[in-house]
Amino acid sequence: MNLRQVEAFRAVMLTGQMTTAAELMSVTQPAVSRLIRDFEHATRLRLFVRRGNQITPTQEAVTLWKEVDRAFIGLSRIATVADEIARQAAGTLRIAAMPALANGILPRFLAGFLRDKPNLHASLSGLPSSMVIEAVAAGQADIGYADGPLDRQGFVIETRPLAAVVAIPEGHPLCEKHTIVPADLKRQRMISLEPGTIFAMRVEVALAGVPRLSTLETRLSHTALTLVGESAGIAIIDPTSASEFLQRGVVVRPFSIFIDASFLAIRPAGQTRSDIIERFFAEFWDFHDRIIKAAGITPS
């Protein structure tokens, strides 16, 4: 079996005719017929039923075609990247981020970052923090954004201090207060974010001894904020996510007790310095701080 035989098989499957396949490959029709016979011999499969000038693919051909087409899509991508490298126009940026960022502020920043970079190929994956860390460790992501702490070698880690805020439904009496203290949350329905996490435990410690109504639990900050906007309860939450829900039925107030709501930006240690990655890394921090300050939320 050789690549030319596979190309001939693909061309025939695409066009449905030996003659048209020959034109696609810039060879003669007998040459395509010979390549197909050799391919059938190499695979020990009957791939086409021939009736005069008509050919019909067998079930074996259809099954094999799925794998062949998938392989050629990969080859096409390699050819495209090789062409871009030859023109010195290639670049890749792979980002993995926890849902609180991947579903909100991060794609907004990425869209602006790519605006003047038409040849930069970027990917953004929303993953649980543990999977973000593994993606960076395995070299599947250039930059990762995850919850901390992270006590593990092999990473360059940056973070910013961020104080959790209180998200309140618009029109709630607590909106009249400038700062929320634990006693203000007495007998309020609280929305608990990601039960069992370090952040959730910090919130519980801060609210120890405060009697509350039944708690509503959810794993995602955006879900919690949507519930707040629908007047289902009050949430103590990270300011980055909260900034996305202003003007959407949510009012944000500082909390009198500092609860760390920061996140980590991580890169592999020893990674070859890339200007595009360095720019993204630095500019996102600036964008992040501007967004939450513009929303009237102090970063720390």
Q: Name the pairing type of β-strands 190-193 and 234-237.
A: parallel
Query: What is the DSSP annotation of 174-236?
Result: GGG-SSB-GGGGTTPPEEEESTTSHHHHHHHHHTTT---SPPEEES-HHHHHHHHHTTS-EEE
Cα 208 from Cα 190, distance rounded (Å):
13
CB 160 within 8 A of CB 262: yes
- pLDDT higher than 80, residue 8: yes
One CATH from 3.50.50.60, 1.10.10.10, 3.90.1150.10, 3.30.70.20 for 3-86: 1.10.10.10
pLDDT digit string, tens, across residues 217-266: 888 899 999 999 999 999 999 999 998 898 889 999 999 999 998 899 99
Same fold, 3-86 and 165-254: no
In angstroms, the Cα distances linking 299 to 222, 255, 263, 289 are 19, 13, 12, 7
**pLDDT class for 2, splitting at 50, 70, 90?**
confident
Query: Does the structural domain 91-161+262-294 have CATH classification 3.40.190.10?
Result: yes
What residue segments make up the domains of the chain, in order of their start?
Answer: 3-86, 91-161+262-294, 165-254
The tokens describing 183, both together, are 């006693």
pLDDT at 71: 78
In angstroms, the Cα distances linking 69 to 4, 42, 72, 123 are 14, 18, 5, 23
**pLDDT class for 89, splitting at 50, 70, 90?**
very low
**pLDDT class for 297, splitting at 50, 70, 90?**
low
Q: Give the distance, in angstroms, between the CA of residue 178 and the centroid of all CA atoms in the same chain.
A: 36
pLDDT at 182: 94
Fold entry, domain 165-254: D-Maltodextrin-Binding Protein; domain 2 (3.40.190)
Question: Cα-flanking dihedrals φ and ψ of residue 80, to 5°?
Answer: -65, -45
